[in-house]
Amino acid sequence: MSSTRMLLFFLLVSIMFCSCSKQKTMEFTDLNGYRYETVINDPTGLRVYTLDNGLKVYLSVNKSEPRITTYIAVRAGAINNPENSTDLSHTLEHLMFKGTSSFGTVDWEHEKPLLDSISVLFELHRMEKDITKKLEIYKLIDKLSFEASGYSIPGEYHKMMSDIGARNVGAFTQYESTIYVSDIPSNELWQWLTLEINRFGDIALRLFHTEIGTLWEEDNMYQDQDVVRAEDICRKGLFPTHPLGRGMDKQQLKNPSVVDVMRFKEAWYVPNNMAICLSGDLDPDKTIRMIDETFGQLKSKPLPESNQPVEDPATEPVIKEIHGQAGEMVFLGYRCGGIKSEDRKYIQLISNILYNRQAGLIDIDLIQGQKILSANCQVNFGSQYGFMVFNIKPNNGQTLEEAVELVISEIDKVKKGEFPEWMPEAIANQYRLSQMKDLQENWRVDQYANAFTYEMDWSDELDFADELEKISSKEIVKFANDFFRDNYVVVYKRKGEAEGIVKVEKPAITPIIINRDAESEFYTGWKKISSDPILPEFVDFATSINTTKLKEDVELSSIKNEGNELFSLYYIIEAGKSNDLRIPIALNYLPYIGSLGHSATELKQELFRY
């Protein structure tokens, strides 16, 4: 059996091995009396706890290295912004790194009155209509902000995280959630919890005007990116009334409110609307007790009502056009149901039938056939709606309209059932393979956070590939004919001068005082928290790697994967561009030339199929 066929055989066996029937969720109680849910046969061994205050806790053990990946998820994002303050969630995300009344300050008693005064001035600035008076108010804001900066310690949070060896420290705001991320040594879990409970239990909106300046700069930068503007217009066409299509209001951005940011935090950053997701070298019984001693003490409270509008059915195409200096492109978008709807399964299948970077109809017919320069298809699902968007770039001399028609012709093939009969099953298997790869790493916390955000049962996520596999080609064709009508949005991005660009002019800001060497009392005490040392484990490469000689000058080196049924195969050839500059050029030809037994198209289809 050839090496390639052997690879495909083992890959198929591993995929079949991980396929199973409906997953069953069981409830258990640990030694400390904490109840949790777990899915039988879940490869990640996830435990899902709900503390008395409503906080969700997702814990998964992975002993591959002495580290823990951490997500703190808040189920509030861009769609939760009120119409009169459309960037609160993003603004708060930035300000969550500025400290609290305990850290980030050398003297809170003297800093707080200044911050309170700054907050009042921002409200006056927001209400004032006269441009001259607004500028005068902002000068006062700048003056007090400079004075307040004398008490602040910028970057103290990051300095503390660096002290415990944290990596990948950051955050991101999505439509329906805000996620705070880090990767910490496993022996520093208590220090991390002590710091984070201080941050989430208390916040000081210091250095507000400089951070707002950063947000202004971000918005100005995005307006220079044609692809971002085109995506925004496509989304507005898909969601004319829903917050998913709501862009940044420039007037609101120029008139920020400290009061509104604090109200947003008080409303949404509550334990019954949050989750802590941890994966790594941890003891679940000890970890849940530590989380309860910290975040479990936060007080829950009722959440604001969040009744989002329902869009009218799309009955005709929406056609938009913008100009810019970047190369021409077009966006073609369709709106669908949300993540819990039946649409998700069908859109997942159809999007992959059309485009999967390897053997989809668009991949083979248009990209491989060089009928267009490039195209891709992306899908996104939220709690209420989802959308499918194609990004298409034409060949030189080809019009955008011609490029769109070519993609629509591929959609018509799906409606006629003109796709390989084996494709749906292959897509389900590829989904299993991708899921196995994702779940073997600590970054699986990202999937836990998604399950929390959209209130999904973890068992349903583990079963999703099986659900895909149950759908027949006939059912796909029926769905495609019902779904794909004149219900799309097209945005043509043509070459030319950009129109409608409104950039925020930043007022003059006095450089703040940087107390780089200062240290808060909290930081001084926090550093004294002890942690057990991590003892190194040394790998003996001679015994850990199995080496077999296949033939003269050809060795096979292997390590058994003890974690799951996946395996990887690498061919290492001791030659590169330093040996011959033609090698990288030759490698670029591989997708187009196939093999002795298969055409390029057949080879891609076979590799995707198995």
Residue range 502-549, pLDDT digits in tens:
888 888 899 999 998 999 999 999 999 999 999 988 989 988 999 999
- The reported pLDDT for the residue numbered 451 is 98
Nearest to 57 by CA among 41, 42, 38: 38
Is 557 part of any domain? Answer: yes
Question: Is 400 within 8 Å of 415 (Cβ atoms)?
Answer: no
290 to 51, 364, 476, 523: CA distances (angstroms)? 12, 53, 48, 20
Return the number of other C-beta atoms located less than 10 Å from residue 536's C-beta.
7
pLDDT along the chain (610 residues), means of 10: 36 37 85 95 96 98 96 97 89 96 97 97 95 94 96 97 98 97 98 98 93 88 92 96 88 89 97 98 98 97 94 96 96 98 98 97 96 97 98 97 98 98 97 95 98 97 96 98 97 94 85 92 96 90 91 90 88 90 91 89 91
Spell out the residues 6+ positions from residue 64 whose beta carbon is closer than 8 angstroms to its own. 281, 563
The range of the structural domain enclosing residue 549 comes to 541-609
Helical (H) or strand (E) element with 50: strand 47-50
Spell out the residues 6+ positions from residue 348 whose beta carbon is closer than 8 angstroms to its own. 379, 427, 431, 468
Is 332 part of any domain? Answer: no
Question: Is 175 within 8 Å of 78 (Cβ atoms)?
Answer: yes
Nearest to 104 by CA among 42, 161, 142, 143: 161
Spell out the residues 6+ positions from residue 203 whose beta carbon is closer than 8 angstroms to its own. 95, 96, 98, 100, 262, 265
**CA–CA separation, 607 vs 182, rounded Å?**
36
- The reported pLDDT for the residue numbered 5 is 37
Is 405 part of any domain? Answer: no
Is 429 part of any domain? Answer: no
**CA–CA separation, 39 vs 24, rounded Å?**
6
- The reported pLDDT for the residue numbered 532 is 92
Q: Measured in Å, how far apart are the chain's first and last C-alpha atoms?
A: 16
CA 355 to chain centre: 21
Helical (H) or strand (E) element with 318: strand 318-324
Question: Is 29 within 8 Å of 288 (Cβ atoms)?
Answer: no
Return the number of other C-beta atoms located less than 10 Å from residue 396's C-beta.
5
Hunting for tokens 């240290």 — which residue is that?
519
Question: Is 321 within 8 Å of 233 (Cβ atoms)?
Answer: no
Alpha helices in 128-188 (DSSP H): 131-149, 156-163
- The reported pLDDT for the residue numbered 22 is 64
Is 566 part of any domain? Answer: yes
Return the number of other C-beta atoms located less than 10 Å from residue 587's C-beta.
10
Per DSSP, 245 falls in state: G
Question: Is 250 within 8 Å of 232 (Cβ atoms)?
Answer: no
**CA–CA separation, 239 vs 572, rounded Å?**
49
- The reported pLDDT for the residue numbered 218 is 87
Is 599 part of any domain? Answer: yes
Question: Is 192 within 8 Å of 166 (Cβ atoms)?
Answer: yes
Is 472 part of any domain? Answer: no
**CA–CA separation, 534 vs 194, rounded Å?**
20
**CA–CA separation, 275 vs 232, rounded Å?**
29
Spell out the residues 6+ positions from residue 275 whose beta carbon is closer than 8 angstroms to its own. 55, 56, 57, 58, 71, 72, 73, 75, 448, 449, 452
Output phi, psi for 585, to 5 deg. Answer: -70, -40
| Amino acid sitting at position 257 | S
- The reported pLDDT for the residue numbered 58 is 98
Question: Is 507 within 8 Å of 135 (Cβ atoms)?
Answer: yes
Both tokens of 447, joined, read: 């999937």
- The reported pLDDT for the residue numbered 30 is 94
- The reported pLDDT for the residue numbered 13 is 34
269 to 96, 104, 178, 300: CA distances (angstroms)? 11, 20, 10, 10
Is 550 part of any domain? Answer: yes
CA angle 546, 552, 554 (to 5 degrees): 45
- The reported pLDDT for the residue numbered 323 is 97
Q: How many folded domains does the chain comprise?
A: 1
